[in-house]
Structure 1
Amino acid sequence: MRRLTGRRLWRRVPQLLVGLFLYGIGIAFMIRGVIGAAPWDVLAQGIATHVPLTFGTITIAVSGVVLLMWIPLRQKLGIGTVLNALLVGPSADIGFLLIPEIDVLWVRVVFFAIGLTVLAAATGLYIGAHFGPGPRDGLMTGLHRVTKRPIWVVRTALEVTVVAIGWLLGGNVGVGTVAFALLVGPMCQYFMQIFDVRPAPQPTRARA
């Protein structure tokens, strides 16, 4: 992670918190679309059909389990990692309170599109703040480093696994799941370029 000067904290901290809050809102929009959820959200949905816990609480619990998997991989936590694990789930629960359930198909498609866009922008915000990766991203990069497999292979294997488990438990897999897999990478890359907090320029010293 690049070293940034303290003067950038005035932007980085709010950007991190706004990004994490909007990430949960994006999840809520996509799930309200009911055309298929993102892989890790399919898992949380599936677990929610079997335990008396909210989606957000389950998301926190899953993040905790993922962070335990960091230990043998020797991944290092950042404050952004911890806040991601703690805040995304509750913000998704807030989103469910604010976003109504809709039966009209075209509105559900719009909800999904809004959710995907908001989630991608939120990813750019919190990653661009440079406070550490989210639990799932850190698991992916840790497995990539340990197994020496290409990052796309590791990510695909992880997401296929969690989708399969979530679907077997009752999570919602559909065309939205496929759309998420195809579109989230390019969209996140676009927003990361926009919201990346670059190091403050260092003053040049005049030559004697």
Structure 2
Amino acid sequence: MIRRSVQLLIGLFLYGIALALIVRAAIGVAPWDVLTQGIALKTGLGFGLITIGVGAIVLLLWIPLKQKPGIGTVLNVLLVGPAADFGLWLIPDGLDLWVRILLFPAGLIVLALATGLYIGARFGAGPRDGLMTGVHELTGWPIWVGRTGIEIVVLSIGWILGGNVGIGTVLFAVLIGPLCHVTIPWFRIRLPGDQTDDRLEGTVLPSQPLVDSPAN
């Protein structure tokens, strides 16, 4: 339990740092972060505070969808935003282009590692992942259809509000799934009752196909 708890907290902290790296790269961010940036531009509120608020609203949507959060879900909502704010404070804005080009892949790699850590701790899905699985269970649509539809809506609203859509947004969509497919099995902690067939190691189980952004 101690190892799982420490792994969860490290994963959520690194997730926030990864978001800050990608934001400071300023070449485009993930769909949910486009929305966060757009709201920040319109309201003047901080990135981390809006991340918490959006996560809390998404978590409330779990109620009609009959999803059950875990402690990891709640901590995801509460901790990723402050960690992102810390990263944004640590990393200055307006960096040279060559530095920003390096920040983006660094952010992707850290985010993939962070996702593996917090999902691998197995304390519950992130709020956005639960929203997608809830839509799947309610409608019967394939998970990828629900996820794509939700993220198109989120991205569109964020773009209209002024969020940063760019080549990084496309690269994030293309690369984050394969990267997390590698990292999630690395950090997945076995629980009592799990199958012990070694052939399962190195694979992403059906219950873990989604990548939250942010905690996601």
Question: Is the pair's TM-score, using the shorter chain for normalization, greater than 0.5?
Answer: yes
**How far is the alpha carbon of 1:137 from its aligned partner?**
0.7
After superposition, the CA RMSD in angstroms is 1.3
Does the alignment pair 1:21 with 2:25?
no
The yes-or-no answer on 1:65 pairing with 2:57 is yes
Q: Does 1:104 align with 2:99?
A: no
Match of 1:152 among 124, 140, 144: 144
In structure 1, what is the equivalent of residue 25 of structure 2?
33
Partner of 2:112: 120
Specify every segment of 5 or more residues in structure 2 that has no aligned partner in the other structure, as ranges: 195-216
For structure 1, the residue ranges without an aligned partner over 5 or more in a row are: 1-8, 203-208
Q: Are residues 1:140 and 2:124 paired?
A: no
- Give the superposition deviation at 1:201: 8.4
TM-score (norm 2): 0.87
Which runs of at least 4 in structure 1 moved beyond 3 Å after TM superposition? Answer: none
Question: Partners in 2 of 1:114 and 1:91 — Cα distance?
Answer: 16
Deviation digits for residues 109-148 of structure 1 (CA, Å, limit 9, x no counterpart): 1101111111111011000000000100110111111111
Post-superposition Cα deviations, 1:36-93, rounded to whole Å, max 9, x if no partner, equal 0111000000000111311000000001110111111000010000000000000000
TM-score (norm 1): 0.90
Q: CA separation in 2, counterparts of 1:117 and 1:57?
A: 24
Counterpart of 1:5 in structure 2 is: none
Q: 1:56 aligns with which of 34, 42, 48?
A: 48
For 1:28 and 1:49, locate their aligned partners in 2 and report how far apart those are by CA, in whole Å: 16
What one-letter code is carried by the residue in structure 1 that aligns with 2:167? V
What's the offset of the Cα at 1:200?
Answer: 5.4
Name the % identity: 61
Match of 1:4 in 2: none
Residue 94 (structure 1) aligned with residue 86 (structure 2): yes
Q: What secondary structure, in the 3-state scheme, does the structure 2 residue paired with 1:86 have?
A: helix
- Specify the structure having the higher radius of gyration (Cα): 1
